[in-house]
Amino acid sequence: MAFLPLRRCKSLLLLHSRSKDGELTRALKGMLGYTPVNLLLYKTALTHSSLARSGRSYLPVEHNERMEFLGDAVIGAVVSEFLYLKFPEQREGFLTQLRSKIVARESLSHLALAIGLDALIKAHLNRPFSRNVVGNTLEALMGAIYLDKGYACAKKTFLQRIFLPQVNVDELTKREFDYKSRLLEVVQRKGDRVQFETQEEQHGEVKKGTFFFSSTLRINDEVAGSGSGSSKKEAEQRAAEQAYGKLTMNN
């Protein structure tokens, strides 16, 4: 492991270098909050396959497609853990839907543009780059961070430097996960009938004054979903969530 301190020394020297590597090192430090140790990993992450195909190579010749694969898994793990801890009362369906929204190509592209990642991409393509190019590059960058600094650093960097400064997760959940509204929009567009049958109950073992709600959702008189909760709204949302999941799965 004697080579590691040498790499760190080299990376520190690059911070004060006027070379292209020095410029890239300073740009990455400003973006990520730390000095990269193995700059070659980040060069790979920033190299689009079009450059290799064109013959106008930017060292290293290896492009970022393999690193995208790794970075996609890293982002998925980071977001899954974050959502699991932030929403301890939510069910798997909610967490899965929200994670899918966050890691979607359009969302990653937005994050990449917000941190100025597009300015560092090396590609033989016309600018501005497509959302696929910048989103894929963000995935590759996360792969490079993981290989260079480990999972803890990748997690901290993605959450604190990239994701949370740009996204209000609470507002995102309110906007994206009103299952009742989304279900009604889909069903009514088809001309189907929707009916919620919601009951307020008080069980013997529940203290006086505390009620439990259950809801059954029918589409064209057929049961499409059911749910329960501490409020009428929650019960109907859970019933709508179940029905919406079935509809989207069948479509």
148: annotated active-site residue: no
Angle at 220 between CA 217 and CA 221, to 5 degrees: 65
Of the candidates 65, 68, 89, 139, the residue annotated as catalytic is: 139
72: annotated active-site residue: yes
Question: Residue 14 CA to chain centroid, in angstroms?
Answer: 32
Distances (CA, A) of 100 to 83, 149, 220, 222, 230: 11, 26, 30, 29, 27
DSSP secondary structure of 34-99:
S--S-HHHHHHHTB-HHHHHHT---SS---SHHHHHHHHHHHHHHHHHHHHHH-TT--HHHHHHHH
Is residue 200 a contact partner of residue 211, using CB atoms and an 8 Å limit? Answer: yes
Query: Which residues touch 42 (CB under 8 Å, ≥6 apart)?
Result: 24, 28, 36, 141, 144, 148
At 8, list the tokens. Answer: 């760190």
Of the candidates 23, 65, 68, 72, the residue annotated as catalytic is: 72
Q: Give the active site residues.
A: 72, 139
